[in-house]
Amino acid sequence: MSSLTISGLRKSFGVVEVLKGVDLEAKTGEFVALVGPSGCGKSTLLAMIAGLESVSAGEIRIDGRVVNSVAPKDRDIAMVFQSYALYPTMTVRQNITFGMESRRVPRAQQDEAVKRVAALLQIEPLLQRKPAQLSGGQRQRVAMGRALVRDPKLFLFDEPLSNLDAKLRVEMRSEIKRLHQRVGKTTIYVTHDQVEAMTLASRIAVMHKGELQQFAEPRTTYDRPANMFVAGFMGSPAMNFIPAEIADAEGATATIAGEGGQRLTLKLARPLANAGANRRIVLGVRPEHISLARSEGQNGKADQAVVPALVEIVEPTGAETMAELRLGERTIVGRFGADEAPRVGEKVSLAFDMTKACLFDPTSERLIG
């Protein structure tokens, strides 16, 4: 049973096409994150689901019903805005009950609903205050309360945490997660923060330039990204892309450029069948899949490829240390434990974990192995 089904959805503002045919579906109780850089169309998509933007082409179904031309109030949705959009002249209680007042819900039922939500979000002491008297985190909570009180089919979140400071953001993030686990409502959550998407979502929809790049579980988008955009967007520091060439007819080895035009040969964990020798590919290696091969013994390990590199910059972050490493003509980033990080200027042997490496086609940028 899906709560939300979107098929072939398009949106144009004049000649500018913002959404170019998006297909998406959320199962009942699922937490779907729409993630992508600014201008990718994720907020427009959310506004269209809410009914705040018209549909140029395609179809939106909520609980099986086509809602393309249904007014926002009749879609049985609730939304939390980035700016919280609390009504400034009303108290917290009035903010929460405004929707029920509009729908002429009986007073007794309203009081009960406010009580339930206030207890759930621990905002009972704030009910008589005006939004201007609340802190950022409290406003955020009230905004969620206003959405939760409705008991809708669908929850929509539009970058709800981006106005909070870093510490509060992490707290509210886990609170949203806890809330979703408790309430179990289908949720569509827009964010530009891939960490938020990874931590919260049961499935992530990565968007770019109005197109859905990949719609999959967080682990999959991270480990097996559908293309180079997803690979580069998910994860920080980003995945390293190294141009490579298939070295043999079986597609079991590849070469990359080393120091002074010299070619380094790497053994691929999964042979790229039918690729043909000399085919150009892009090797994607995440920073955490690069380790130091100090001892000669590690050299022979089947799933590791060892290359020499020069340490250019070391950036300790506390728990771990990032290092910029010079490999031939290009710089790659490695992520090391704080204790085992190399020193600046050091010449090191890097071991790539080839089982985790991704291979992309350089022209289509798609994942090929």
Residues that bind other proteins (CB under 8 A): 47, 50-52, 71-73, 77-79, 81-83, 85, 87-89, 98-99, 102-103, 132, 146
Q: How far is CA 180 from CA 63, 76, 175, 264, in A?
A: 19, 18, 9, 49
Q: What is the DSSP string of 257-289?
A: E-GGG-EEEEE-SS--TT--TT-EEEEEE-GGG
Q: Which residues are bridge partners to 255 per DSSP?
A: 245, 265
Quick one: 51 or 328, whose CB is closer to other proteins? Answer: 51
Quick one: 75 or 286, whose CB is closer to other proteins? Answer: 75
What is the token pair recorded at 262? 């010299």
CB 154 within 8 A of CB 96: no
Neighbours of 135 (CB within 10 A): 11
Q: What angle do CA 189, 48, 5 make, to 5 degrees?
A: 70
Quick one: 28 or 82, whose CB is closer to other proteins? Answer: 82
Quick one: 88 or 345, whose CB is closer to other proteins? Answer: 88
Shortest distance (Å) from residue 103 CB to other proteins: 5
What is the token pair recorded at 109? 């039922």
Shortest distance (Å) from residue 283 CB to other proteins: 44
Shortest distance (Å) from residue 26 CB to other proteins: 18
Shortest distance (Å) from residue 143 CB to other proteins: 9
Shortest distance (Å) from residue 67 CB to other proteins: 13
CB 204 within 8 A of CB 221: yes
- Phi, psi angle pair for 73, to nearest 5°: -70, -20
Quick one: 79 or 293, whose CB is closer to other proteins? Answer: 79
CA dihedral over 141, 143, 148, 153, signed as positive or negative: negative
CB 292 within 8 A of CB 340: yes
Listed residue (171, 161, 147) closest to 83, CA to CA: 161
Residue whose pair of structure tokens reads 């920073």 in the numeric block: 287
Quick one: 47 or 230, whose CB is closer to other proteins? Answer: 47
Quick one: 76 or 211, whose CB is closer to other proteins? Answer: 76
Quick one: 52 or 183, whose CB is closer to other proteins? Answer: 52
Quick one: 89 or 317, whose CB is closer to other proteins? Answer: 89
Shortest distance (Å) from residue 83 CB to other proteins: 5
Q: Which residues contact 300 (CB under 8 A, 6 or more apart)?
A: none
Shortest distance (Å) from residue 48 CB to other proteins: 12
Neighbours of 367 (CB within 10 A): 19
Shortest distance (Å) from residue 224 CB to other proteins: 37
The H or E element spanning position 117 is: helix 107-121
Listed residue (168, 114, 177, 180) closest to 140, CA to CA: 168
Shortest distance (Å) from residue 114 CB to other proteins: 14
- Phi, psi angle pair for 261, to nearest 5°: 75, 0
